[in-house]
Structure 1
Amino acid sequence: MGNHSSCDEVCKKSRRELQFHSDQGFQYTSQAYFNLTKEYGITPSMSRRGNCYDNALAENFFGILKAECIYRHKPETFEEANKMIDDYIYFYNHERIQLKTGLPPLSLRQSC
């Protein structure tokens, strides 16, 4: 029961607040970036300086993307890479079964 109530809390929070988490790269610390996130109602979130563990989920996803997609198919053009990445993100969110949950990420989220 504890896990279910935690899931409910996370789902409620995610419905009311959209966040974009990044490292502290120059593009994410500019005023233009903050203005853009504000314009779209997005709350920026940043990892601590020099701490890769704060960004572990994003780093993990990009490692999987590279291993399962980019390194296997080696796109030759920007357009090909862009389509390949878009297709993979859709696959990852809608179809790719996560070992820990036995579900794709969006199926798990919708079950909350």
Structure 2
Amino acid sequence: MNFKQSMSRKGNCLDNAPMESFFSLLKREYLNNFEIKNIEMLTKLTKDYLKFFNNQRISLKTKGMTPIEYRNHSLKNHLI
């Protein structure tokens, strides 16, 4: 996906907080339920969880909506 690390400024520990939180959820809610045998299995499980996380998993932070529903709701309100 051609991601590049940004080295433009001094790092801040809060920069990584959202990703650290996501990876914690990924491990606690999903990956710990499997005996992962190889990188292909890990890749498939991670993709499956991402689909679930974005399309089905509701959260109180997003007012009971999935992340995609919340994003679309927010965009709709900002475009009005």
| Counterpart Cα distance in 2 of 1:95 and 1:48 | 36
Name structure 1 gaps, 5 residues minimum. 1-19, 21-26, 31-45
Q: Moved runs in structure 1, 4+ residues, more than 4 A?
A: none
1:87 aligns with 2:48: yes
How far 1:98 sits from its partner (Å)? 0.8
| Counterpart Cα distance in 2 of 1:84 and 1:97 | 19
Q: Taking CA–CA contacts closer than 8 Å with sequence separation of 6 or more, which of the two structures ends up with the larger relative contact order?
A: 1
Provide closer, same or farther for how the CA distance between residues 47 and 90 of structure 1 changes in structure 2, counting only shifts above 3 A: farther
Q: How big is the alpha-carbon RMSD for the aligned residues of Structure 1 and Structure 2?
A: 2.3
After the TM superposition, which residues 1-112 of structure 1 pair with which residues of structure 2 at under 5 Å, given as runs?
A: 28=5, 48-49=10-11, 51-100=12-61, 101-112=63-74
How far 1:58 sits from its partner (Å)? 1.0
How far 1:62 sits from its partner (Å)? 0.8
More strand as a share of residues:
1
Larger Rg: 1
Name structure 2 gaps, 5 residues minimum. 75-80
| Counterpart Cα distance in 1 of 2:33 and 2:23 | 14
1:9-45 deviation line (CA, Å, top 9, x unaligned): xxxxxxxxxxx7xxxxxx7258xxxxxxxxxxxxxxx
| Counterpart Cα distance in 1 of 2:15 and 2:9 | 5
1:37-95 deviation line (CA, Å, top 9, x unaligned): xxxxxxxxx7842x322211111111101111112213111111100000000100000
TM-score under structure 2 length normalisation: 0.74
What is the aligned length?
71
TM-score under structure 1 length normalisation: 0.55
